[in-house]
């Protein structure tokens, strides 16, 4: 009897361990299925190819360790593949939620989006900073939530903004700066010019050459900090064409990209109670 109880206990322990191991994966698969269903509905509604690039922390696995995401070369490969497979006569809706990332990857995505023959629309439900803004500017239409933000696209070298490196050398004087800093300043100048030239190229057809040059300089010169939020109102003041009719399905989709679970939530809310018919 003791041996049988021990065997049963062992089986229960292994089943419990298997559940701990597999439950997060099963939950993630169910989440993926819900996302796919919503994307299909949005695609039918807008008669477009819908692509998402949503960077949140995701906690997957037994220990729920968060994975931090940004625009990577892998992202550019996936988005380019999706754009390449999209019907040439159908619009593309690209939903972006990102803090930014690699200039190389963002540039590739922006160029592919710009070159799509049909209309392209970038939808920003919350924020598209840095490289995300670069991609948004390549689209025919930018659709933002009224409280969403874009950001400057000045390139970063390590932990420092390229414009700040150049200015630091100019203020201190070339003769007082070591060779390594001079080399860094040279690379910074090239990085700024490269991003500025690319911005001008993707903006000139929509805004004209004069306005495109102005926008390209403003967004790359280091006028603001790199995390400066460019609101809808500010974007319009700068001369950017921005709309605010974000489809409701996009907000529902964002609910399926939850941040990792915490021991105690920092934000909670109670929906306003709606009276049920027939009850008072």
Q: Does residue 279 belong to any structural domain of this protein? A: no
| 3-state secondary structure (DSSP) of residue 157 | strand
% the chain with pLDDT above 90: 67
Could you count the other beta carbons within 10 Å of the beta carbon of residue 156?
Answer: 17
In terms of pLDDT, which residue wins out, 205 or 177? 205
Please state the rounded mean pLDDT for residues 34-44.
90
Please state the rounded mean pLDDT for residues 54-69.
55
Task: Check residue 176 and give its pLDDT.
Answer: 83
**Is 159 found in the same domain as 147?**
no
% the chain with pLDDT above 70: 78
Measure the CA–CA gap between 134 and 103, rounded to whole angstroms. 9
Domain that holds residue 197: 154-224
Exposed / middle / buried, residue 162 (Cβ in 10 Å: 0-12, 13-18, 19+): buried
Please state the rounded mean pLDDT for residues 102-120.
97
**Is 244 found in the same domain as 123?**
yes
DSSP label at residue 101: B
CB 53 within 8 A of CB 75: yes
The backbone torsions φ and ψ at residue 34, rounded to the nearest 5 degrees and listed phi first, read -65, -40
**Is 46 found in the same domain as 182?**
no
Q: In total, how many domains does the chain have?
A: 2
**Is 112 found in the same domain as 55?**
yes
260: left (phi over 0), alpha (psi -120 to 50) or beta: beta
**Is 116 found in the same domain as 142?**
yes
pLDDT tier at 8 (50, 70, 90 boundaries)?
Answer: low
Q: Is pLDDT above 80 for 223?
A: yes
Please state the rounded mean pLDDT for residues 248-268.
73
> Which residues make beta-bridge pairs with 52?
95
Task: Check residue 52 and give its pLDDT.
Answer: 95
Q: Does residue 122 belong to any structural domain of this protein? A: yes
Please state the rounded mean pLDDT for residues 103-109.
96
For 20, the token pair is 């701990």
CATH number at residue 241: 3.90.226
pLDDT tier at 100 (50, 70, 90 boundaries)?
Answer: very high
């Amino acid at each position: 009897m003791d041996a049988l109880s021990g065997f049963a206990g062992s089986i229960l322990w292994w089943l419990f361990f298997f559940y701990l191991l597999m439950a997060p994966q099963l939950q993630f698969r169910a989440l993926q299925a819900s996302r796919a269903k919503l994307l299909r509905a949005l695609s039918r509604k807008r008669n477009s190819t819908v692509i998402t690039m949503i960077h949140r922390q995701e906690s997957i696995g037994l220990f729920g360790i968060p994975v931090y995401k940004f625009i990577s070369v892998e992202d550019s490969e996936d988005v380019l593949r999706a754009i390449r497979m999209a019907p040439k006569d159908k619009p593309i809706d690209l939903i972006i939620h990102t803090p930014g990332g690699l200039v190389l990857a963002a540039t590739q995505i922006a160029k592919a989006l710009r070159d799509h023959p049909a209309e392209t629309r970038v939808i920003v439900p919350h924020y598209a900073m840095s490289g995300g803004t670069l991609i948004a500017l390549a689209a025919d239409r930018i659709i933002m939530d009224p409280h969403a933000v874009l950001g400057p696209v000045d390139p970063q070298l390590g932990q420092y903004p390229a414009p700040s490196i150049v200015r630091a050398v100019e203020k201190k004087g070339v003769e007082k700066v070591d060779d390594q800093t001079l080399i860094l300043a040279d690379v910074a100048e090239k990085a700024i010019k490269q991003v500025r030239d690319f911005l001008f190229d993707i903006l000139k057809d929509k805004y004209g050459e004069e306005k495109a040059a102005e926008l390209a300089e403003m967004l790359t010169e280091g006028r603001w900090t790199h995390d400066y939020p460019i609101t809808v109102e500010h974007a319009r003041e700068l001369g950017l064409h921005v709309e605010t009719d974000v489809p409701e399905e996009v907000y529902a989709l964002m609910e399926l990209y939850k941040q990792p679970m915490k021991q105690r939530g920092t934000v909670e809310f109670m929906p306003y109670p709606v009276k049920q018919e027939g009850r008072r």
